[in-house]
Amino acid sequence: MVYNNFLNDKEITQIGLTYPTWEHGKTNEPSDLRIVHTYDITHKLEWLDFKVLAFVKKINKDYGYDISSWNAINETKLLKYDVGGKYDWHQDVLWAPKEHRKFTYIIQLTNKKEYEGGDFEFRDAKVDLANAGDRGTIIVFPSLLYHRITPLTKGSRQSIVGWVVGPRWK
């Protein structure tokens, strides 16, 4: 579920050069659930889509989810959490009429040493998340799992989040 060195520094820099002002994207309405800046990059970094999908398909051998669609990544966002930013307990599964979210992936763009708080946590899964804050790390998990980002108390945390979909759950 936690895989270090998924992206290298050159790839992360390439993302930053492509979207140098992404942190000024839309801010979700502050609520009891989430406070985070978002910028939609769905299908704008084709090389990243291919890399993520190939990686998730390897992981899926242990799950057997139906993600056979050529366009299985349906949404990708850059996220920025500032001080006070958070995302409380939630699931990412989306019960859309045609496709459901099967996997969530989060790619860490900021090194954990650059901020405090902002920890990624699972509610019910026992997973070693000690290295989850390392720059370039990807976390891949079934979208049904409850997870959160704890409130940020210092600095800023930047990441990419996306979802791999497939036909409706049976």
CA angle 70, 78, 1 (to 5 degrees): 65
Give the start-end residues of each E strand in the chain: 2-3, 26-27, 34-35, 37-40, 73-81, 86-90, 99-108, 115-117, 120-122, 138-142, 147-149, 152-155, 157-167
Give the per-residue pLDDT at 21. Answer: 56
Q: Report the chain's C-alpha Rg in angstroms.
A: 15
Residue 137 pLDDT more than 50?
A: yes
* Tens digits of residue pLDDT in 68-113: 776 789 899 999 899 999 999 999 987 767 888 999 999 999 999 9
Residue type, 13: T
| Angstrom distances, CA of residue 44 to CA of 15, 47, 143 | 10, 9, 22
Q: What is the share, in percent, of the chain residues with pLDDT greater than 70?
A: 88
Residues 107/140, Cβ–Cβ less than 8 Å? no
pTM for the model: 0.91
| 162: β partners | 76, 105
